[in-house]
């Protein structure tokens, strides 16, 4: 039995929300109701209390309790029905001035949203932008139905049938529960960020990797029940703070430091995912003082580079390698060119899979979407994940879980 919080906002379709509550109860789940004050004009407190046999949560600070925190803590799923245009905007904007938005903001449970409004409001660019924002954050937004509207008009914007909303919500709950245990008992090591190779005390050779994709994979693996270790190379503290508290973080700077930390941590791991952009070369020797220009001439200093160790290949070909090794390769070029690069790397590295990450102005490094081709050890395409960092991470973690499960059989 799961705990479901149904959030009700102030639209005329609120009169259908009790049916959603009943359907969730019939499926064997415990249901709480959080309601905005405006919604009580359509369905009153006594109705909710009669259906759920408990008080409806409306007041933000009722009786001295942080009720929204309690609801957020117990929720395994949040269903917002109906979601008005106003509530969509407030959720997308991170507002927290009613019990529904507060509960969503305080919870890490999956959220299902069932919009209902006039066609013009649903199709308005602002509403569509808010829906896109919510979907990018992982909200499950059910498309509204077409038909008779409360205004007397007809068109898209009608609340779907309550039974259909409940069915869709319970499917999300089932999928979330399965994903929450997909990597239970597994240990996953993930490298993230970009190494920096010192030239002198103030300069270094580096790259543009932010570490966001690696951290998204770490969060997804932790949600799937894995014990997660992150080896972070020059990742911003604010980004690391978004990781689940149980994730173990080791900070490193250079490629040599990453090699040492990675080899030490994969010894008892089930999987290694190397998303970090590790420098291929480093200065042969870093200057102990800042290198200065010589004002007497126009010559530039010569910096001799030496190769860094290939951490992925070293571990991929080691007898102590984890059962699953996944590498990342950031490439530019045409579709044919990057697939050829990826196939060559897959053959050389000894990894089970290579995530071929196409990078450019609008994809790849930083706070932009990713376009990942998953190549197996032979260079054949085993999957493709396109979308936000979180969407790519969810797809990859699911593939990892299936691969490890198949090894057990």
Binding residues for CTP: 280, 290, 309-312, 328, 345, 349
Helices 212-223 and 389-408: crossing angle, nearest 10°? 50
180 DSSP 8-state letter: T
C-alpha distances out from residue 100 to 34, 138, 186, 345, Å: 6, 17, 35, 49
Structure tokens at 7: 């959030």
What is the 3-state composition of the chain as percent helix, strand, coil, each rounded to the nearest 5? 40, 25, 35
Catalytic-role residue among 86, 120, 207, 406? 207
- Chain position carrying tokens 């007809």: 154
For residue 44, is it left (φ>0), alpha (ψ between -120 and 50) or beta?
Answer: beta
CA distance 205 to 199: 7
Residue 396: name the closest of 331, 335, 315, 324 by CA: 324
267 DSSP 8-state letter: T
Active site residue 370: no
**What DSSP letter does each residue of 140-177 carry, written as one string?**
EEPPPEEEE-TTS-EEEEEPPPHHHHHHHHHHHHHHHH
CA distance 2 to 4: 6
> Residue 268: what are its φ and ψ, rounded to 5°?
-115, 20
Binding residues: 280, 290, 309-312, 328, 345, 349
CA distance 163 to 94: 29
Structure tokens at 176: 């979330």
SS3 state of residue 13 = helix
Q: Which residues are known catalytic residues?
A: 207
């Amino acid at each position: 039995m799961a705990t479901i919080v149904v959030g009700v906002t102030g639209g005329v379709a609120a009169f259908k929300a009790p049916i959603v509550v009943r359907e969730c109860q019939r499926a064997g789940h415990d249901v709480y109701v959080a309601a905005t004050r405006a919604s009580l004009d359509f369905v009153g407190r006594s109705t909710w209390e009669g259906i759920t046999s408990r008080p409806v949560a409306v007041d933000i600070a009722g009786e001295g309790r942080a009720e929204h925190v309690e609801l957020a803590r117990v929720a395994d799923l949040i269903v917002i029905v109906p979601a008005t245009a106003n509530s969509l905007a407030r959720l997308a904007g991170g507002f927290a001035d009613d019990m529904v938005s507060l509960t969503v903001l305080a919870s890490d449970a999956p959220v299902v949203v069932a919009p209902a409004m006039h066609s013009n409001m649903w199709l308005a660019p602002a509403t569509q932008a808010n829906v896109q924002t919510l979907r990018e954050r992982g909200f499950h937004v059910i498309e509204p139905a077409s038909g008779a509207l409360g205004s007397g008009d007809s068109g898209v914007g009608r609340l779907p049938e309550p039974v259909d909303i409940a069915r869709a919500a319970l499917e999300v709950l089932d999928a979330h529960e399965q994903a929450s245990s997909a990597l239970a008992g597994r240990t996953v090591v993930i490298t993230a960020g970009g190494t920096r190779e010192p030239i002198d005390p103030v300069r270094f050779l580096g790259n543009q990797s932010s570490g966001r994709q690696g951290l998204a994979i770490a969060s997804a693996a932790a949600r799937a029940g894995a014990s997660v270790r992150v080896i972070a190379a020059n990742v911003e503290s604010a980004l690391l703070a978004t990781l689940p508290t149980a994730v173990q973080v080791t900070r490193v700077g250079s490629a040599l430091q990453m090699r040492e930390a990675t080899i030490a941590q994969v010894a008892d791991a089930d999987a290694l995912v190397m998303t970090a952009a590790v420098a291929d070369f480093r200065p042969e020797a870093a200057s102990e003082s800042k290198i200065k220009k010589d004002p007497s001439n126009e010559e530039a200093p010569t910096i001799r580079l030496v190769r860094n160790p290939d951490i992925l290949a070293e571990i991929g070909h080691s007898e102590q390698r984890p059962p699953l090794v996944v590498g990342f390769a950031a490439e530019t070029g045409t579709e044919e060119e990057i697939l050829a690069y990826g196939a060559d790397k897959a053959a050389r590295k000894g990894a089970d899979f290579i995530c071929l990450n196409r990078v450019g102005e609008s994809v790849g490094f930083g706070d932009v979407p990713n376009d990942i081709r998953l190549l197996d050890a032979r260079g054949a395409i085993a999957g493709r994940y396109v979308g936000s960092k979180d969407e790519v991470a969810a797809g990859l973690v699911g593939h990892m879980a299936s691969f490890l499960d198949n090894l057990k059989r």
